[in-house]
Structure 1
């Protein structure tokens, strides 16, 4: 656990809350788990959807939150104004690079195309040796079951090496996922 103590976890998640109340509950639970482990949150900087829910929970509990949001999304995602630190950057490329630089590990919660794109970029960077930071998938109520199955299928078909399948740790519960990531 010492390797992630007093560090930051980047959480990728939706700018929407989704249709199930479990997604918001999981965002708050992950926020509580981060603060309990003295881990700060790095995220996309919005105050809407799961992004706003997790940021608000970490802040409510006295944790640190760093947001990174492109100028074009400040209004669209309604940039959060109450964060510990907020970086407004030029574009999505700069956003992703800064978030990766600020984080010691990554977790993807339920989300849409942007969340998936960010998750896969970090997995690809790990596969290529660009970083050696843990990558996790918070599989709330089986949200990512099909994706996990696809990764296994792609491996069985020879497109993902078996040793790279394990680069993405998945769990349904926030605390269990953090425990898995910390043990890497």
Structure 2
């Protein structure tokens, strides 16, 4: 069994007077007060904390939705373990890829050609950027920004990327390339989504 990352740790405010640290970051899945989060991917059930307080700059909340930024204050029944890049949630079965990057690239190129060919002024213009991002369970492919999508096709303009799982499931997805931290968080969110579904 493995664990799924549910909170991306961007920074940690040091604890004072034995108070627990305040963790600044972004939810990769729904995070609620009182929920149990684990410090690592280890299957040990003893290495965890509870979410005590969730807030943004001014308000407290009972939960953070997927991709919401905020801070969480945690409490632990024992000494707080070192906090890494992520806090983890539920256990899932090991994810075993069944498709190669080459096969996935071909799928993304075919989808992009179908979606964008009517907007390409030059038939030799590639439909996808050369850059590909990889996470544990998926790859991200991005539209070529040289292809101008008209305003009336607002859905395609809003998305701009494909997430393709390492088992061959494809989904249109958002392109957060202008915000590298948000892009990396979203890549992990989609990877966890595929891992949780086993697809």
TM above 0.5, one fold?
no
Say which one has the larger Rg.
2
Query: Which has more helix, going by share of residues?
Result: 1
Specify which structure has the higher proportion of strand: 2
Bin of the TM-score, shorter chain as denominator length: under 0.3
